[in-house]
Amino acid sequence: MFKRIEKAHGHVDELAEVWRRLKKNKASLFGLLVFIFMPIMAIFSPYIALHDPIEMHLDETLLPPSWKYPFGTDDFGRCIFSRVVFGSRLSLEVGIIAVLIAMIFGVLLGLISGYFGGKLDTLIMRCMDILLSFPWIVLCLLIVTILGTGLVNVMIAVGIGTIPEFSRLVRSEVLIIKEKQYIKAAIATGASEKRTLFRHILPNCLASIIILATLTIPGAILSAAALGFIGMGAQPPTPEWGRMCSDGRAFLHNAWWISTFPGLMIFLTVIGLNLLGDGLRDALDPRLRA
């Protein structure tokens, strides 16, 4: 109690408070564990993996899980476990980069839309409505048609599909913040529009932006995996989880492990990130508590 009062200034206390609230929720702690475990697996893949993820062992195809191959082998005799471990890199990359793309464009458009209002606002929001009237995967497939298949294009496609969520959120925040006294004061003291927007308004939207980002990363990972599954993403032999699930479909009757483990990893990652997102939302902004 005293310790908290001693430190009762600035960000340290705020972070401690967030941590204190997050800690109370056991489910979000599991999410945090996944959140920490995923990058570790991604960074240290070469040390965790038992084999080369694309090396074929043609005399050891379709082997069930064993000590040598914990998740079994696929039809080329590749180690599923090692492929899953290396696959974490791709999923993490896709999730983060897609959301970054959505965040950068969405936040900019939302700031402009909310701050300047008028025709510009109408134009931007109508464009967002048009993007939103496509089912997400149809929009992604159109973008992939234009850009071609591949992991980078999937990131771009998923990112573009997520822009409206950010722009709508930021716009509604700006509309509220714009009316606050301190913004009027900033403008009255001669702050330029750019300064008002980026130094005064943006920082006040950050909490919501961060919450939305953590809430959209799992969705982005799922979408990218789904696109990988239908062959639009990473091309073989890249160990992408969605693609691996799809490749295993030909062997459901004699090698269940090929599809099962990559899918399980997607599931665990997404559920962990969802739990962390929910927990963070509750801890950072109790108003939004579901």
Interface with other proteins by CB under 8 A: which residues? Answer: 126-127, 129-130, 132-138, 141-142, 144-146, 148, 218, 222, 225-226, 229-232, 242, 245-246, 248-249, 252-253, 256, 259-260, 263-264, 266-267, 270-271, 274-275, 290
Peptide bond between residue 237 and the one before it cis (omega within 30 degrees of 0): yes
Q: How does 9-48 read in b/e, with b if 16+ C-beta sit within 10 Å?
A: eeeeeeeeebeebbeebeebebbbebbeebeebbeebeeb
| Token pair 């056991």 in the structure block, residue | 26
Minimum gap (Å) between residue 158 Cβ and other proteins: 11
Closer to other proteins at the Cβ: 17 or 251? Answer: 251
**Amino acid in the structure at residue 187:** I
Report how far residue 127's alpha carbon sits from residue 164's, in angstroms, rounded to the nearest whole number: 9
Minimum gap (Å) between residue 10 Cβ and other proteins: 33
Closer to other proteins at the Cβ: 144 or 211? Answer: 144
What letter does residue 58 receive in the DSSP assignment? Answer: T
DSSP three-state, residue 79: strand
Minimum gap (Å) between residue 11 Cβ and other proteins: 30
Closer to other proteins at the Cβ: 201 or 255? Answer: 255
Determine the distance from the C-alpha atom of residue 41 to the mean position of all C-alpha atoms in its chain, rounded to a whole number: 17
Closer to other proteins at the Cβ: 197 or 259? Answer: 259
φ/ψ (deg, to 5) at 79: -75, 115
What is the rounded end-to-end Cα distance, in angstroms, of the chain? 29
Minimum gap (Å) between residue 169 Cβ and other proteins: 14
Closer to other proteins at the Cβ: 14 or 129? Answer: 129
Closer to other proteins at the Cβ: 73 or 274? Answer: 274
